[in-house]
């Protein structure tokens, strides 16, 4: 039985349609959701992703500001730029493209973003709220993965989920969010002994380690769901994931392709977070309280 390919592109389109409707409703109330993307340096991959975010934003009728600065930008200048964006009523979401040049401390930059505008969901207040299950802006890639599972009626409740990779951007948050959904979660990483012992027991395996085609059918029990968060280039320079896609097709029940799986969901959830933040702002203005 060949695995069902999870179509992240199709699901992301559905989410963007819903976002577009919410933008229209906000515009009728005089609010145009605004996203500010800050790019320091001229890393070509980052520039592609940032332009993609901008294009999507505008296609959905939102305001999209791109602030681009030279690699040599001083940390203090970046922090004051963020401060201005925090206080700009026309900006509802702030995303500072990572990685930053090594002379800038990423944690200080993330801490400087108003949690109300933290559309990456990286701020400790956002992360803390997510871990305790309190309403908050959720990290885009993990939230996109949850939406893919929902779309294909893959219910994580009571399922054994094995997450490989423990980054603050994907591995750690996606495991916490699935725990919130009553999954049994195992976090694996570079120091895990006998990885296959864990992954072969998994109903759902999520791979986010940045190693091309790392996971294969020997790691899986038949029928496992495979979510590939990798973004690598293979020997021919072609985009590929952390999963040996061809090899797992006959063993997995579902698999996400790269490209066309988790990636488009990351963008769609960023758009949703921006609209959510604008709606929260409206609620706050009406009731005087923060959501």
Interface contacts to ligand GUE, rule CB under 6 A:
49, 95-98, 120, 140, 231, 239, 258-260, 263-264, 266-267
- Shortest reach from residue 231's CB to ligand GUE, in Å: 6
Q: Residue 165 annotated as binding?
A: yes
What own/partner pairs with CB < 8 Å and gap ≥ 24 does 73-80 have? 73/40, 73/101, 73/104, 75/103, 75/104, 75/105, 75/108, 75/109, 78/38, 78/40, 78/104, 78/109, 79/108, 79/109, 79/112
Catalytic residue selected from 118, 120, 203, 244? 120
- Shortest reach from residue 46's CB to ligand GUE, in Å: 6
Cβ-based nearer residue to ligand GUE, 6 or 26: 6
Judge whether 120 counts as a catalytic residue.
yes
The end-to-end CA distance of the chain, in Å, is: 46
Cβ-based nearer residue to ligand GUE, 134 or 233: 233
262: Cβ–Cβ under 8 A, 6 or more apart, which residues?
A: 8, 141, 144, 145, 148, 227, 228, 229, 256
Which candidate, 79, 71, 128, 143, places its Cα nearest to that of 106?
Answer: 79
- Shortest reach from residue 220's CB to ligand GUE, in Å: 21
DSSP lists the bridge partners of residue 69 as 40
Q: Point out the residue whose Cβ comes nearest to ligand GUE.
A: 263
- Shortest reach from residue 282's CB to ligand GUE, in Å: 25
Q: Residue 167 annotated as binding?
A: yes
- Shortest reach from residue 115's CB to ligand GUE, in Å: 15
Cβ-based nearer residue to ligand GUE, 101 or 259: 259
Q: Residue 93 annotated as binding?
A: no
| Euclidean distance between CA atoms 213 and 87, whole angstroms | 44
Answer for the pair 251, 218: CB distance below 8 angstroms, yes or no: no
Cβ-based nearer residue to ligand GUE, 95 or 220: 95
Would the CA dihedral through 184, 258, 38, 107 be positive or negative?
Answer: positive
Cβ-based nearer residue to ligand GUE, 143 or 198: 143
| Euclidean distance between CA atoms 103 and 72, whole angstroms | 8
Catalytic residue selected from 97, 116, 176, 276? 97
Answer for the pair 173, 166: CB distance below 8 angstroms, yes or no: no
Binding-site annotation, residues for NADP(+)? 165-167
Binding-site annotation, residues? 165-167
Among all residues, which ones are annotated catalytic?
53, 97, 120
């Amino acid at each position: 039985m060949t695995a069902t390919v999870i179509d992240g592109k199709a699901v992301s389109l559905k989410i963007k349609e819903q976002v577009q409707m919410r933008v229209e409703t906000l515009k009728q109330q005089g609010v145009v959701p605004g996203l500010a993307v800050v790019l320091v340096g001229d890393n070509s991959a980052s520039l592609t992703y940032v332009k993609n975010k901008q294009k999507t934003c505008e296609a959905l009728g939102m305001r999209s500001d791109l602030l681009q600065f030279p690699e040599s930008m001083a940390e203090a200048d970046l922090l004051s730029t963020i401060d201005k964006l925090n206080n700009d009523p026309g900006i509802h979401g702030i995303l500072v493209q990572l990685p930053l040049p090594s002379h800038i401390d990423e944690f200080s930059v993330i801490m400087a973003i108003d949690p109300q505008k933290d559309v990456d969901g990286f701020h400790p207040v956002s992360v803390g709220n997510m871990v305790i299950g309190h309403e908050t802006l959720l990290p885009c890639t993990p939230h996109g993965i949850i939406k893919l599972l929902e779309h294909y009626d893959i219910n994580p409740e009571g399922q054994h989920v094995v997450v490989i990779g423990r980054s603050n951007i994907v591995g750690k948050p996606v495991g916490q969010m699935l725990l919130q959904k009553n999954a049994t979660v195992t976090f694996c990483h570079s120091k895990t002994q006998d990885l296959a012992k864990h992954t072969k027991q998994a109903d759902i395996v999520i791979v986010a380690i940045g190693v091309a085609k790392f996971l294969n059918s020997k790691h899986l029990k038949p029928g496992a769901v495979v979510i590939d968060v990798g973004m690598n280039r293979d020997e021919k320079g072609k985009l590929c994931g952390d999963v040996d896609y061809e090899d797992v097709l006959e063993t997995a029940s579902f698999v996400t392709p790269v490209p066309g799986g988790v990636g488009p969901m990351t963008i769609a959830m960023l758009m949703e977070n921006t609209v959510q933040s604008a709606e929260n702002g409206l609620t706050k203005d009406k009731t005087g309280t923060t959501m």
